[in-house]
Each structure stands twice: as C-alpha cells, then as structure tokens.
Amino acid sequence: MSKLHQISPGEKVDLSQFTTRGKDLHDDRKSAEKEFAAYRQRIAELQPRLYAERKQKLLIVLQAMDAGGKDSTTRHVFEGVNPQGVHVVSFKAPSSRELAHDYLWRIHQAVPPKGMIHIFNRSHYEDVLVVRVDQLIPENEWQRRYDQINQFEKFLTETGTKILKFYLHISKEEQKERFQDRLDEPEKHWKFSKEDLEKRKQWDEYRVAFNDALTECSTEHAPWHVIPADQKWYRNWAISKIIFETLEEMNPQFPAEEPGLDKIVIE
C-alpha cells in the first residue's frame, strides 16, 4: 500500500506546513476523477467479499474542522456499496448516559464487527480536541488520553480491525466559502449553526490541538493521513485510493461453497 499523505510515527506535525490544495499536487482533475470512479468501483466490489468472509473488519475515522467535508466524503467514496455491510456513526456531544462511563465506552460499542466497514464521523479524538479547547477537563487528564487512545487502537488492530484515520485538511478561507455557501442556499441552511461561527473563532486553538493529536497518535498500527481537502475532487481521489489499496491488501475472499452444489436439481 502506498504511503500517500501518511504521517510517520514520531513525526512532529505542524499543519501550517501541509498544503490544503490538492490541485497543487495533481494537475489533471479529469484523470483524477476517472481514477476515483475506478477506485470506487473496486471498493464496491471488494466490500461484499469482506462482508461474506466475516473474518476482518475495517474502521475509517474522519476528523476535520467544521465544514471539512466528512459527510461529503462518506457520500461520494461509498456510493454504490452494499449498505448492509457499511455503517456510519456520527458522534455528537455525549449523552448523560455516555458521560456516566469512561470516554471510550461509547466508542468501543460502535467499532465494526467481523465483515463490516464502519465510518466514524468524528470520533474518540473529540476527547482530546473539544475537551481541550473548551477547557472541559484538566490538562493532565487529556494529556493521558493520547496513550490511552493508542493502546485502545492497538487492541483493536490486534483483534482483527484495520484502522484508517483521515484528517481532512482545509484552509480557513475554504471554510469561510463553505459556510457562506450554506447561508446562500436555503436547502443548505440546516447544515449551518451560529455555533459554527463561535468554533471558527477558535481556529488557532483547534489547529494546535490537532497538531498534537496527529503527532501523538500516528502509530505503526493506526497512522494518520493528512488529506488536502480544499478541492473535493482531490480529497475523494486520495481517500478512495487509500481505502481501495487497503482492501486489496486485506484480500477478503468469498467463503468456500458447500460441497455437492453441482449435484443439486431444483424441481
């Protein structure tokens, strides 16, 4: 599998040094879109094998600044797959029941069973991002969570879960355009909240928090990928390529047929 946009373990991440502009890295949008369609088709072909085999699991984690494109990525990359074998989990603010448990409790319940692909729209990483920026817990508590998350993800991989983590990297200017687009088009008003503007004021604080999360939690078993996401076509191309290559590497197979099927006559 290629190391496209992958963060190496121990690499110090400074997102200001990573481009958000995919068009600077791929100068042929038409060819990228053609390749994306081919990758998506192969994902749709490999996913039923994973589901039928019932031995392996794939967890995809999507994190981004607001308007980073998590929903759009899921919709475009997984178009055409059998929905029976793919499940999307969107993590909002924890409920009172969830808060009564440790912060990974709700996450562990949502990891994929054998044969499934689960997509996390936000994830356990909110518990080293939001809680830090909004000062919901003491620093020594969220600092400990980096190692806890690494151990949790190591446990998942050791028990058969392949993990792909994508940070959708957009610029502050692109976020502004996407927010404005949501205001300008009535059918997109539901996607906009005044709270988004409050979070936008915390851009720099979130950038620092993401730098640390990507640095501390990119491991051999679950590395982060920083995907330039200002151009949606490049984002889709890059993520679909990585998922396709991962599924090929996993090489799921349909189960062997029952013996004697060639002798069955249906009357």
| Tens digit of each residue's pLDDT, the chain (267 residues) | 468 899 999 999 999 999 999 999 998 999 999 999 999 999 999 999 999 999 999 999 999 999 999 999 999 999 999 999 999 999 999 999 999 999 999 999 999 999 999 999 999 999 999 999 999 999 999 999 999 999 999 999 999 999 999 999 999 999 999 999 999 999 999 989 999 999 999 999 999 999 999 999 999 999 999 999 999 999 999 999 999 999 999 999 999 888 888 888 998
Q: Could you give the CA distance from residue 101 to residue 258 in angstroms, rounded to a whole number?
A: 45
Q: What is the CATH number of the domain that holds 37?
A: 3.40.50.300
161-169/117-121 β-pairing: unpaired
CA distance 63 to 210: 9
CA atoms of 20 and 40, how far apart (whole Å): 23
Distance CA 267, CA 249 (A): 42
- For 7, the enclosing helix (H) or strand (E) is none
Q: Do the domain assignments include residue 9?
A: no
Of 33, 26, 16, 44, which Cα lies nearest the Cα of 243? 44
For residue 34 the two structure tokens come to 């053609």
Look at residue 6 and tell me if it is in a domain. no
- pLDDT given at position 51: 97
**What are the angstrom distances between the C-alpha of 167 and each of 32, 65, 97, 184, 219?**
20, 9, 28, 27, 15
- How far is residue 49's CA from residue 58's CA, in Å, rounded to a whole number? 13
Residue 107 within a domain: yes
User: What's the confidence (pLDDT) of residue 2?
Assistant: 64
Match 């990928």 to its residue by tokens. 225
Question: Is 10 within the bounds of a domain?
Answer: no
Domain presence at residue 208: yes
Please check whether residue 119 lies inside any domain of the structure.
yes
Residue 259 lies in a domain: no
Give me the pLDDT at residue 3, please: 87
In order of 24, 71, 185, 196, 207, the CA distances from 180 in angstroms are 24, 18, 9, 12, 21
Residue 85 placed within a domain = yes
Domain that holds residue 138: 15-251
Distance CA 17, CA 11 (A): 13
> How many domains does the structure of the chain reveal?
1
